[in-house]
Amino acid sequence: MIVVEDVSKHFGGFRAVDGATMQIAEGSITGLIGPNGAGKTTLFNVIAGVLKPTGGRVTMQGEDITGLPPHELFHKGLLRTFQIAHEFSSMSVRENLMMVPGGQSGEALWNTWFHRGRIAQEEAALLKKADEVLEFLTIDHLKDEKAGNLSGGQKKLLELGRTMMVDAKIVFLDEVGAGVNRTLLNTIGDAIIRLNKERGYTFVVIEHDMDFIGRLCDPVICMAEGKVLAEGTLDQIKANEQVIEAYLGT
């Protein structure tokens, strides 16, 4: 689904990503691991259009998407989750979901004035979709809670929920498990697996928790110093000498 060819991203003279090449298979949950500073987040940001690469090429289903801005990638179904922005923290969980799809008629003054009926219809459809997402993620009891009051894990579920409001094909998740308790991490894992199996989402997941990676991800790709070191099952990766050396070196 995604082919990353010899991608690099330099900050000044520093090579955060240094000729990374990898393929993300459609329908996979691919894990991206590696020691701190390996370049994982930078590579995510290059693929998701947040950063322009210094060199290399990224294609999605054969189409060159190198350097496309995030909103264009969004319309192609490529999404990178972000923390709930500060300005949305005082809005409810449900409202946060309803904010996601762009291009509603309500945005244009013309439409607001002349097509009130259609806007009401669209809002009702959005509301229905948001409620379905909340139920799917088992957080319907939180629908009226302010997003800012959620725990770290609940926020991650909401971030995942936001991808379900549009027709996502591939979702990039950065450190889903950071600061999340085990029970909620399992709920997040279950949601990812169900979205993968039932809705055909492809996932790329950066995560330090190896139990989580082992349960969800095949293949696992290990990066170090801006390059791809190894790819395989988690067991193969764990047995790889270059990988062991890279982790010991940090």
Q: How far is the CB of 70 from ligand ADP (least distance, A)?
A: 17
Nearer to ligand ADP, 169 or 227 (CB): 227
Nearer to ligand ADP, 39 or 189 (CB): 39
DSSP at 218:
B
β-bridge mates for residue 158, sequence order: none
Q: How far is the CB of 204 from ligand ADP (least distance, A)?
A: 13
Q: How far is the CB of 132 from ligand ADP (least distance, A)?
A: 33
Q: How far is the CB of 246 from ligand ADP (least distance, A)?
A: 11
Which residues contact ligand ADP by CB under 6 A? 11, 14, 16, 34, 36-42
3-class SS at 250?
coil
Give the list of residues 6+ apart from residue 222 with CB closer than 8 angstroms, or none. Answer: 33, 34, 228, 229, 230, 231, 237, 240, 243, 246
Nearer to ligand ADP, 37 or 70 (CB): 37
CA dihedral 208, 209, 215, 217 (to 10 degrees): 0
Please name which of 177, 94, 77, 100 lies closest in space to residue 137, comparing C-alpha atoms: 94
Nearer to ligand ADP, 171 or 195 (CB): 171
Q: How far is the CB of 173 from ligand ADP (least distance, A)?
A: 13
Q: How far is the CB of 157 from ligand ADP (least distance, A)?
A: 22
3-state secondary structure string across 81-138:
CCCCCHHHCCCEHHHHHHCCCCCCHHHCHHHHHHCHHHHHHHHHHHHHHHHHHHHHCC
Nearer to ligand ADP, 130 or 204 (CB): 204
Alpha carbon 64 to chain centroid distance? 20
CA distance 77 to 131: 21
CA distance 180 to 189: 12
Nearer to ligand ADP, 40 or 80 (CB): 40
User: How many residues are recorded in the chain?
Assistant: 250
